[in-house]
Structure 1
């Protein structure tokens, strides 16, 4: 199934404050930063800071989105997981930064299969 963790995404309300914390307090290297998305290197693990959409409040439920790198194609992994009863939030979505298939674990934690752009 999964061959490893591709990245961990953390929702944030204030990108500048979050980047400063991870860079200045935790000492992580900032690879890129934008208003809606920033990437940090955590000893080879990419941590993505993703701007929270429309909440405006750090008190809202947050948490990491664990992004799994499939062993094979994302399509074959989705098919295999669906065969095991996994419910996906929709079809594989296409983005300039890659393709994702979102689902949850048995506890409601957000997971995604991720394929980088070709």
Structure 2
């Protein structure tokens, strides 16, 4: 059986949304992405760092639709990896200041993560990884991830 190359990464997520401009505002203002292109009036692409797009949004089959049921198969969340604790704290501060309801937060040992939803109910995770040498390991050397509480006040105190 062949495997994916070690250098492979996930390039982007493309979401069906009900209101394009509302979703563009969310991913721009809350997550901090930059609009790279509008594709007509029904799609837009956003990114960080000048990449062509990390997030695609469209209303091709979903304009004005209600969010789908939570208890059905589908995307659980899209995760946005921040480079350090200060930038993650700044993203959390931005989300709170824009009225985003924080649905959860956890210290996973390998990472620190905050969870909320976009305007269409799509799950969002913002997180930062710890250095690989600091990841918790079990006796056999495998990952030993946890789901411990995350101190949001301490994270906010480190905001840029």
When the two structures are superposed, what TM-score results if normalisation uses the length of structure 2? 0.36
Please identify the structure whose Cα radius of gyration is greater.
Answer: 2
Which has the larger share of strand? 1
Q: Which has the higher contact order (CA 8 A, sep 6+)?
A: 1
